[in-house]
């Protein structure tokens, strides 16, 4: 039970979970609390999912945690009914908890994977739970309405703990109030903005909302905040894959927006980042997402789209066995209906290279978005090095 060897904060929601989790961890660490974080999914390496005291876990320590977890999983598998087995995400979650316990951190900030009630992370005795946002995503597993989805996520709330929420639909907020009351939990509403004097390194209006949530959660946990520390953390923390600038000439941005709400937040941020320059986007979207809603949200901010697919073997290796990309022909038909100029390029690396080529030729910026797994496939370490030269 490694998750009982440290205090914990649970972060659930549709969008913003990784950002809020990493921001909470940074704020706690900045106040002298030894902190780790478990987030998902990863962009390039499984070890990205575990951060200790602000840094990605060392490969040897991660390997040791995975090896110990694999041995335990073998024992569990032998006790299960035929056809049942420990899942990949369950093993990754357990390995993360083992790593945090081995590092002797004081607090673990844990991002839920899918939903909450049945999620592998729902074994932590969290003192604080953060509900970041609610949108229609993973409806085939979590329910067809925002209230049903929220109920799955709020199910992780522990008795006599604290629930922190941001701006939510009225019906969802009412459910949060009722759930907190039933669990004897304190409900706190985070402000929409961290306030004047807080300048974030992480760009985008949505990150200011996320930081306000993180501040509220950290303040509850610490029973107060040092504003000097808050300003320092705000000015130094960056979130991989969230409006992340990875190259210049032309500027190239990676963003993991993978549902309609995430796409809308990205579209809101792009005009400020582009400074009026045209945006040439490389986009792939998984088949279980609402591709039309995502492209409709992004269309006003884009000049041209290079459509691609994430190979099935890449999805398998990255933790999504059985998942598939929306075929580029379907994406192209949606773009045509939306009046969005588009072309197809089969491989993600080549598609991003094409978007960069167009951006360079037209004085614009390049963007890769639509899926976590696209970023990992299109922007490898090798290509990052070659593009930066």
> For each of the chain's 389 residues, which pLDDT tens digit applies?
999 999 999 999 999 999 999 999 999 999 999 999 999 998 889 999 999 999 999 999 999 999 999 999 999 999 999 999 999 999 999 999 999 999 999 999 999 998 899 999 999 999 999 999 998 665 565 667 999 999 999 999 999 999 999 999 999 999 999 999 999 999 999 999 999 999 999 999 999 999 999 999 999 999 999 999 999 999 999 999 999 999 999 999 999 999 999 999 999 999 989 999 999 999 999 998 999 999 999 999 999 999 999 988 888 877 777 889 999 999 999 999 999 999 999 899 999 999 999 999 999 999 999 998 898 888 764 444 444 43
Please tell me the total number of residues recorded for the chain in this structure: 389
CB neighbours of residue 28 within 10 Å: 26
Domain assignment of residue 239, yes or no: no
Q: Are residues 195 and 259 in the same domain?
A: no
* 184, 256: one domain: no
Sign of the torsion angle spanned by Cα atoms 183, 184, 185, 188: positive
Q: Which residues fall within 8 angstroms of residue 186, CB to CB, at 6 or more apart?
A: 161, 162, 163, 180, 220
One domain for residues 302 and 211: no
Could you tell me if 248 and 124 lie in one domain?
A: no
Identify whether residues 280 and 371 lie together within a single domain: yes
Smallest CA-to-CA distance from 318 within 67, 56, 97, 43 is with: 43
262, 226: one domain: no
Say how far apart CA 202 and CA 50 lie, in whole Å.
20
What's the domain range around 362?
244-388
* Domain CATH code at residue 333: 3.90.190.20
| Structural element, H or E, at residue 189 | strand 186-189
Same structural domain, 33 and 152: yes
71 neighbors 141 (Cβ within 8 angstroms)? no
Residue 164: strand pairing partners: 130, 188
223: left (phi over 0), alpha (psi -120 to 50) or beta: left
CATH number of domain containing 171: 3.40.1190.10
Stated pTM of the model: 0.92
Using CA atoms of 160, 166, 172, 174 in order, give the dihedral in degrees to the nearest 10: 60
For strand 7-12 and strand 55-56, is the pairing parallel, antiparallel, or unpaired?
unpaired
Structural domain total, the chain? 2
What is the Cα–Cα distance from 217 to 202, expressed in whole angstroms?
19
């Amino acid at each position: 039970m490694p998750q009982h060897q440290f205090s914990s904060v649970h972060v659930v929601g549709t969008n913003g979970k990784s950002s809020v989790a990493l921001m909470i961890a940074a704020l706690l660490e900045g106040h002298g609390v030894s902190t780790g974080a478990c987030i998902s999914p990863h962009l390039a390496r499984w070890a990205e999912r575990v951060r200790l005291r602000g840094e990605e876990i060392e490969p040897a320590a991660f390997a040791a945690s995975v090896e110990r977890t694999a041995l335990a999983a073998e024992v569990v598998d032998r006790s299960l009914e035929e056809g049942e087995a420990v899942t990949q995400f369950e093993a990754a979650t357990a390995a993360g908890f083992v790593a945090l316990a081995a590092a002797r951190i004081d607090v673990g900030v844990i991002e839920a994977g899918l939903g909450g009630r049945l999620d592998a992370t729902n074994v932590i005795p969290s003192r604080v739970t953060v509900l970041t946002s609610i949108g229609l995503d993973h409806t085939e597993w979590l329910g067809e309405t925002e209230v049903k989805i929220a109920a799955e996520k709020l199910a992780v709330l522990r008795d006599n703990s604290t629930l922190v929420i941001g701006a939510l639909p009225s019906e969802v907020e009412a459910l949060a109030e009722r759930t907190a009351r039933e669990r004897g939990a304190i409900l706190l509403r985070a402000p929409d903005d961290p306030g004047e004097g807080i300048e974030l390194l992480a760009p985008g209006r949505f990150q200011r909302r996320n930081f306000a949530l993180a501040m509220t959660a950290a303040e509850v946990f610490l029973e107060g905040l040092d504003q000097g520390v808050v300003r320092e953390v705000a000015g130094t923390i960056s979130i991989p894959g969230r409006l992340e600038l990875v190259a210049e000439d032309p500027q190239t941005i990676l963003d993991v927006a993978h549902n309609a709400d995430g796409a809308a937040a990205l579209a809101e941020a792009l005009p400020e980042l582009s400074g009026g320059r045209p945006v040439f986007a490389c986009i792939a979207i998984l088949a279980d997402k609402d591709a039309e809603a995502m492209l409709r949200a992004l269309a006003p901010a884009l000049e041209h789209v290079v459509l691609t697919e994430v190979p099935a073997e890449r999805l398998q290796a990255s933790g999504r066995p059985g998942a598939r990309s929306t075929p580029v022909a379907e994406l192209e038909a949606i773009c045509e209906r939306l009046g969005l100029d588009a072309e197809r390029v089969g491989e993600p690396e080549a598609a991003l290279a094409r978007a960069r080529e167009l951006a360079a030729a037209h004085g614009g910026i390049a963007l890769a978005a639509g899926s976590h797994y696209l970023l990992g496939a299109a922007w490898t370490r090798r290509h990052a090095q070659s593009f930066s030269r």
